[in-house]
Amino acid sequence: MVKTKAVMIGAGLANMAAAVYLIQEAHWNGKQITFYGVDMHGANDGGTTSEFSDEYWNKNHPLDNRTGYVARGGRMLNYRTYVDLMDLLDRIPSATEEGMTAAEDTHDFDAHHRTYDKARLLQGGKGIIDGGKLGLNNKDRVLLSKLVLMPDDEETKLDNITIAEYFKDDPHMFQTNFWYMWETTFAFRIESSVQELRRYMHQMIYEFTQIEHLVGVNRTRYNQFESIMLPLINYLKDQGVTFIDNRIVTDWEFADSPLQDEITVTGLHVKNLETDTEELVDIDDDTAVIFTNGSITDSATMGDYDTPAPENMEYGISAALWKKATERFYNLGTPDKFFNDRKNSEWVSFTLTTKNHLLLNEITRITTQVPGNALNSFLSTTPITPLGQKDVNMSIVVHHQPHFTTQKPNESVIWGYFLYPRRTGEFVHKQYIKMTGKEMAQELIGQLSKVDPGPVNIKSKETEIMDSIVNNIPVYMPYASALFNNRAKTDRPEVIPAHSTNLAFTGEFAEQPYQMIFTEQSAVRSGEIAAYHFTGISMDNLVDTPRYDKDPKTLLKATKKMFS
């Protein structure tokens, strides 16, 4: 079972974490590890528009004006629960701060830029809503308490039950401040799995007492590519790890087994996207195959200021490979639960770059808090803020500026997303998914104007703001919330499936006890488990996961908060 080499399918955070643990804990030479992937960053991306490959751009439009920045998404951090991530980042040097580990870099930045949101909820005609008043009634409290108190070994009772179905006799839940904040903090939808909601309620229970200010949210100094992925890439390259990009693994070769259930990979069919050729990579007995079996940015596409992001109807490439494995073996999950139901998983996001700080300053005035910009770099960020009417669900994040190391002092970068992209805008009468970058910016200004007090508001400056926009990049992500899709516990494979001799699954579509998904925490831990398993290191060495749901003081505080 112990291996001396590893092939990584996918070059996201989970597999990079596995590589670090193989090198540092199992004392491997980096040359024993090879990565195959379309790109070398996974879902934690970010950069100038010119740094993104043609794969993501609309093939029917030249998109010659590749200016400004783009980040398809962003992840919140939380030191209290993301213990494996912080352990990983403390093992590698920062890519931007000399003499610091990546963890020290993040701790240092966050210590000087504490999150304290004063405008967590904004509503048209009312302005800033007091999110500290959760608005729960007794039925809401009872049903939430049942989730919090449900033991881990009873979790299968929630198999194939959506959040909407769990609260079917309590529609009031979805009109509470608590739900609006929980939904937009963690990106749940009412069609999402209540099993996943339960895990979040267990692991993030202390957020009850502070969700209206998001004081538990921590931030990296720059975008998560430069602050998390780039340090990993630099470290692994320095260790001699081989990265082979522009590759898709399209199929498997498995050994025949007398019992028909032993899983042994003997070869991989690898397609070269540059030459459109395919080769068979042999996998010998000494090699582990560590596979990230799904990506929330698979099949993503980009538009530009004048062009919507098109819909790419291709089944996710990593999920397609996963599906081929499930056709051979019975215990590897059900990829269609996550990748064949786009209506419950798709998002549209946008990254808006401006050549001055007018829009940023207007958001500062409206929200009564300074989001932080290049001129005031000591100031904190604005967390995710839902805008407008209760059924709009448009969210923005104004990061500390600069958000990119190459960003000019006069530039601002703002990120936003539509959790329900098929809904129609109020100021641009199109579905969000069909809007250009320009139209998304117009919709944003319109939504901000609804919560802007006074006779002269942001709408009066619309022409000047629009003239300040360098670019606004819409991104269509059909699987952005796929990891929350309604499912049974067995629909995700275990990191080390039963009867597997050399294949492990990592990332957000691998099942781990207790861990909540859509987090860097669960991704890193899956890689850690895989690395330890194939090198004979005891799982007792895994980073201890805190259990706040077992802490009486935390539960008491949460209970009191429920009655606010």
Q: Which residue has the tokens 């009564």?
A: 368
3-state DSSP percent of the chain in helix, strand and coil, to 5: 35, 20, 45
DSSP-derived 3-state class of residue 560: helix
Token pair belonging to 7: 């092939």
Q: Please give the Cα distance from 317 to 312 (Å, whole number).
A: 12
Q: Please give the Cα distance from 548 to 203 (Å, whole number).
A: 6
DSSP-derived 3-state class of residue 70: strand
Helix 138-149, helix 194-203: angle, nearest 10: 80
| Chain length of the chain | 564
User: Which of these is catalytic: 200, 206, 235, 305?
Assistant: 200
Neighbours of 409 (CB within 10 A): 11
Q: Please give the Cα distance from 270 to 281 (Å, whole number).
A: 7
DSSP-derived 3-state class of residue 503: strand
62 burial via Cβ count (<10 Å: 0-12, 13-18, 19+): exposed
Helix 13-24, helix 520-535: angle, nearest 10: 40
Look up residue 478 and give its DSSP letter. T
150-158 contacts at long range (C-beta below 8 A, 24 or more positions apart): 150/198, 152/513, 152/514, 155/195, 155/198, 155/489, 156/488, 156/489, 158/193, 158/194, 158/195, 158/198
Token pair belonging to 219: 């931030």
Active site residue 417: no
Side chain identity at residue 114, one-letter code: R
HSE of 15, CA atoms in CB hemisphere, 13 A? 33
DSSP-derived 3-state class of residue 385: strand
**Which residues have a Cβ under 8 Å from the Cβ of 507 and sit 6 or more positions away?**
10, 12, 14, 15, 292, 293, 294, 295, 523, 526
With beta carbons less than 8 A apart as the criterion, state whether 385 and 212 touch. no
With beta carbons less than 8 A apart as the criterion, state whether 486 and 161 touch. yes
Residues tagged active-site: 200
